Amino acid sequence: MKIAYITAGAAGMYCGNCLRDHALARALRDLGEEVTLVPIYTPLQTDLEPGPEVRRGAVFFNGIRAYLEQHVPYLREPRPVIDRLLGSRPVDALLSRLPVGTNASKLGAMTHSMLLGEDGYQKKEIEQVLRWLKEDLKPDIVHISNLLLVGMARRIKEELGIPIVCTLQSEDHFIDELPEPFRSKCIEEIKARAGALDGLVAVSAAYRSAVCGKYGLDEDGVHVILPGIPLEGHRQKTKKNSSEPLQLGYFARISPEKGLDKLCQAFCALSRDGNDQLVLRAGGYLPRSSAGWLEGVSSTLDRAGVSDRTELLGTLDRQEKLQFLSELDLFSVPAQRPESKGLYALEAMASGVPVVLPDEGVFPELISPGGGGFLYDPTDRDGLKSALGVLIADPDLRERLGREGMESARLHFSSERMAKDTIAYYSRLA
């Protein structure tokens, strides 16, 4: 089966959608499917080495072109010389380094225009994608990464007449942050254009339930395929000496919605209770918009007298991430809103690290198949601290949960399993 998988790049940031989509494309290739991952907006950046599964060449819907088409009417029609210049390798290289903009509060008009598809200001970008799909790749199925790309579905259906699948994953957070009237307009446009889709796949039952009503989707018609991760390279920490520090880890975007400040508060409270062997290590991408917030978090740690037992590592590549996870004793990302995928939890579990997570969103679906950690009530002010405290006090429990999580990741949450489930779904559509 020849598959075109269209996914949105996030410039210099590792994003969960990109990581999941790339892992899925690689696993589909390994299973013998002819899949091409097609980045749009910016080049794809993940911690996996790009192989034949990633399309080479100029990026479609290049972020700079899309922005200029939004604001400069002259550029909305084909302008061969300017289009070639803006689609050149140097511009793509620049896009891969610059934060081209994922701040929803500033992107309302352009997001709506993209959803308008053939009626939007970026219509010539859709035609360029169509020509390549029709004349070069000639796929059997097109898969778009999220509902924000549904604006191109109608024209793909008209020109290619093949099944179009869309994944539901995390777009709801972005849409909710759009300013009005664009938030409402985008929701209505998604409702109007979702009929061009032949299949819908949600990354968790929780996310399916959360978004279907909002976007006018039939929940019974949305298939759930839980996320998976590449398992190669994950390894469990060797048994530690009781005199060594106990390492509590966090690995996710460094921003308020992921709850690093809440984890720091729990760490401070646990330290006051006498857990002076506990250290906190945090890694992840820091958006510029969160820099001031992080300074406040650092001040809290300074005032509590525990800053010498904390470490902020920043963005890690795959090998650095695997090494980091293999050194941990506990892992927690106390996300402040329900998560749709929770890839970081699966990565900790695959490394044999027990996880402590809020009992909402996707997390119950990740823990219930085989264990691997504790879920706490996010409405309980002391829930996170209490759950961490139980595991800190019981090394045998930590070891058992770590083994359970590692086995559960192997049995239930590999990218190979995710790919097999996806192939089975494609076959139903075909």
Nearest of 335, 349, 344, 331 to residue 246 by alpha carbon: 331
pLDDT, average across residues 92-121: 78
The pLDDT of residue 283 is 97
96 against 173, higher pLDDT: 173
The pLDDT of residue 340 is 97
Residue range(s) in the chain whose domain bears CATH number 3.40.50.2000: 2-229+415-429, 246-412
Residue 1 pLDDT exceeds 50: yes
348 against 42, higher pLDDT: 348
Separate counts of helices (H) and strands (E) for the chain: 18, 12
Assign 6 to helix, strand or coil: strand
66 against 299, higher pLDDT: 299
Strand pairing report for 355-358 and 373-376:
parallel
Distance between CA atoms of residues 330 and 369, nearest Å: 20
The pLDDT of residue 100 is 46
Predicted TM-score of the model (pTM)? 0.94
- Cβ neighbours of 286 (radius 10 Å): 17
In which band, very low, low, confident or very high, does the pLDDT at 10 lie, cut at 50, 70 and 90? confident
The pLDDT of residue 154 is 97
Distance between CA atoms of residues 115 and 187, nearest Å: 10
Tell me whether the omega of the peptide bond preceding residue 378 falls within 30 degrees of 0, making it cis.
no
Task: Enumerate long-range contacts of 268-273, CB under 8 Å, 24 or more apart.
Answer: 268/300, 268/301, 268/304, 268/306, 269/385, 270/385, 270/388, 270/389, 270/392, 271/304, 271/306, 271/309, 272/304, 273/389
pLDDT, average across residues 298-315: 96
Distance between CA atoms of residues 370 and 349, nearest Å: 10
In which band, very low, low, confident or very high, does the pLDDT at 43 lie, cut at 50, 70 and 90? confident
416 against 93, higher pLDDT: 416
Residue where the block lists tokens 């809440």: 262
Residue range 239-286, pLDDT digits in tens: 666 678 999 999 999 999 999 999 999 999 999 999 999 999 999 999
Residue 101 pLDDT exceeds 60: no
What kind and span of H or E run contains 63? helix 63-71
In which band, very low, low, confident or very high, does the pLDDT at 93 lie, cut at 50, 70 and 90? low
Q: In degrees, to the nearest 5, what angle opens at C-alpha 257 toward C-alphas 252 and 262? A: 85
CATH number of 246-412: 3.40.50.2000
pLDDT, average across residues 14-33: 95
End-to-end CA distance of the chain: 10
Residue 381 pLDDT exceeds 70: yes
The pLDDT of residue 237 is 76
Within 72-212, where are the H helices? 80-86, 89-97, 108-115, 123-132, 153-160, 171-176, 182-193, 205-211
- What is the architecture, at CATH level 2, of domain 2-229+415-429? 3-Layer(aba) Sandwich (3.40)
Mean residue pLDDT of the chain comes to: 93
Do residues 9 and 44 make contact, with C-beta atoms less than 8 angstroms apart?
A: yes
In which band, very low, low, confident or very high, does the pLDDT at 84 lie, cut at 50, 70 and 90? confident
Residue range 316-341, pLDDT digits in tens: 999 999 999 999 999 999 999 999 99
As a whole-number percent, the residues of the chain with pLDDT over 90 amount to: 82
Distance between CA atoms of residues 121 and 112, nearest Å: 10
User: Distances from the Cα of 383 to the Cαs of 234, 247, 334, in angstroms?
Assistant: 29, 19, 10
Distance between CA atoms of residues 411 and 393, nearest Å: 29
Residue 107 pLDDT exceeds 50: yes
Assign 5 to helix, strand or coil: strand
Q: Is 335 left (phi over 0), alpha (psi -120 to 50) or beta?
A: beta
The pLDDT of residue 58 is 81
Distance between CA atoms of residues 328 and 314, nearest Å: 16
Residue 102 pLDDT exceeds 70: no
